[in-house]
């Protein structure tokens, strides 16, 4: 009996020793994964800058794919806003009698259309950027936010072409940009920040919720009338303008462009500040949401 008891004690001691020898299980993900989920602007900027060649290659591929089979090629980048400008002139200027002061209505509307075309192109193409590149996502290591960024670069090329046409409209209507045109630069930053934030949100939303893909045309058609593209921001009741700009910073951006380029006015400080803060919220919120959901993209797709 004494020998069996000693054997049981030895076995229990050996099991206890084996249990204590097991490696400890980590309570959370490795520090490097935790680090990636945090917002580090300098780190994000370095990663995007390091992937600049990939962004350029993706943008070139998308540009070629968009215009390769088109007879008119890059001309479509200006034909669409010009066609909308003609329709707006007939409907809003001739029928509704929108008052634009001393500025010709086509010039007034075209400034808004350039901004809207940039936003809608980035939104529609950026929303599909991850879903259309799933095979590439699993083969190439890179920050995945470069795919919506490449679509914004493509839309920027179209916008530059549209700005060239704007110069021709200035010549046609015998007018010149106001000396306050330098206000365009901060407004451009607000426009880019808001647009990229929306593209980040929609790109992951399309992967997880395919219904978003079908909502995009509706959002685009309603958005062009919900945004002061064909009419001035003053058409919105003044007591609601700050709330409106908080949800749609493009309203203040378009109004600021028109004031700086056409009327010689500085942008409204209050509305522009609200638009800047709102755009920053969209950008930061969109990036954090993107990084939170990107790890499951390959599983969901």
* pLDDT of 1 over the 50 cut: no
Furthest C-alpha separation in the chain: 114
66-81 residue pLDDT tens: 777 676 777 777 788 8
Average pLDDT estimate for 215-219? 89
In the prediction, which pLDDT does 259 show? 94
In the prediction, which pLDDT does 100 show? 85
* pLDDT of 252 over the 90 cut: yes
Is residue 187 very low, low, confident or very high in pLDDT (cuts 50, 70, 90)?
A: very high
In the prediction, which pLDDT does 35 show? 45
Q: Which two tokens stand for residue 278?
A: 């709102």
Indicate the burial class of 157 (C-beta count within 10 angstroms; 0-12, 13-18, 19 or more). Answer: middle
* pLDDT of 30 over the 60 cut: no
Q: Which residues contact 108 (CB under 8 A, 6 or more apart)?
A: 100, 232, 258, 262
Indicate the burial class of 187 (C-beta count within 10 angstroms; 0-12, 13-18, 19 or more). Answer: buried
Is residue 12 very low, low, confident or very high in pLDDT (cuts 50, 70, 90)?
A: low
Q: Could you give the percent of the chain with pLDDT greater than 70?
A: 84
Average pLDDT estimate for 35-58? 77
In the prediction, which pLDDT does 38 show? 60
* pLDDT of 28 over the 80 cut: no
Q: How many residues does the chain have?
A: 301
123-149 residue pLDDT tens: 999 999 988 888 787 777 778 889 999
159-171 residue pLDDT tens: 998 898 898 889 9
Average pLDDT, the chain: 83
Listed ranges 5-19, 26-40, 286-300; the one with the highest mean pLDDT: 286-300
In the block, tokens 């192109």 appear at 121
Q: Are 127 and 273 in contact (CB under 8 A)?
A: no
* pLDDT of 26 over the 80 cut: no
* pLDDT of 34 over the 70 cut: no
Q: Which two tokens stand for residue 253?
A: 């951006």
In the prediction, which pLDDT does 19 show? 47
* pLDDT of 45 over the 50 cut: yes
Residue with the bigger pLDDT between 99 and 189: it is 189
User: What H or E segment, with its residue span, contains residue 127?
Assistant: helix 105-127
According to DSSP, residue 229 is labeled: T
């Amino acid at each position: 009996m004494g020998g069996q008891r000693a054997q049981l004690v030895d076995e229990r001691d050996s099991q206890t020793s084996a249990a204590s020898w097991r490696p400890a299980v980590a309570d959370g993900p490795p520090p490097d994964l935790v680090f990636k989920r945090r917002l580090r602007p300098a780190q994000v900027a370095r990663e995007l800058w390091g992937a600049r060649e990939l962004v350029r290659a993706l943008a070139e591929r998308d540009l070629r794919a968009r215009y390769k089979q088109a007879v008119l090629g890059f001309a479509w980048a200006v034909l669409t806003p010009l066609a909308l400008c003609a329709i707006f002139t007939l409907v809003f200027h001739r029928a509704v009698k929108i008052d634009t002061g001393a500025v010709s209505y086509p010039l007034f509307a075209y400034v808004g259309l350039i901004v809207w075309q940039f936003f809608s192109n980035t939104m529609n193409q950026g929303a599909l950027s991850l879903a259309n590149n799933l095979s590439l996502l699993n083969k190439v290591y890179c920050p995945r936010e470069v795919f919506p960024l490449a679509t914004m670069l493509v839309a920027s090329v179209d916008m530059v072409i549209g700005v060239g046409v704007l110069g021709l409209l200035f010549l046609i209507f015998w007018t010149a940009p106001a000396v306050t045109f330098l206000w365009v630069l901060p407004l451009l930053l607000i426009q880019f920040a808001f647009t990229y934030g929306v593209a980040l949100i929609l790109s992951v939303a399309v992967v997880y919720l395919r219904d978003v893909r079908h909502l995009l045309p509706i959002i685009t058609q309603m958005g062009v009338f919900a945004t002061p593209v064909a009419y001035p921001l003053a058409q919105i009741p003044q007591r609601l303008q700050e709330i409106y700009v908080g949800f749609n910073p493009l309203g203040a951006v378009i109004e600021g462009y028109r004031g700086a380029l056409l009327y010689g006015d500085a942008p409204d400080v209050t509305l522009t500040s609200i638009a800047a803060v709102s755009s920053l919220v969209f950008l930061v919120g969109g990036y954090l949401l993107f990084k939170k959901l990107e790890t499951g993209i390959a599983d969901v797709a």
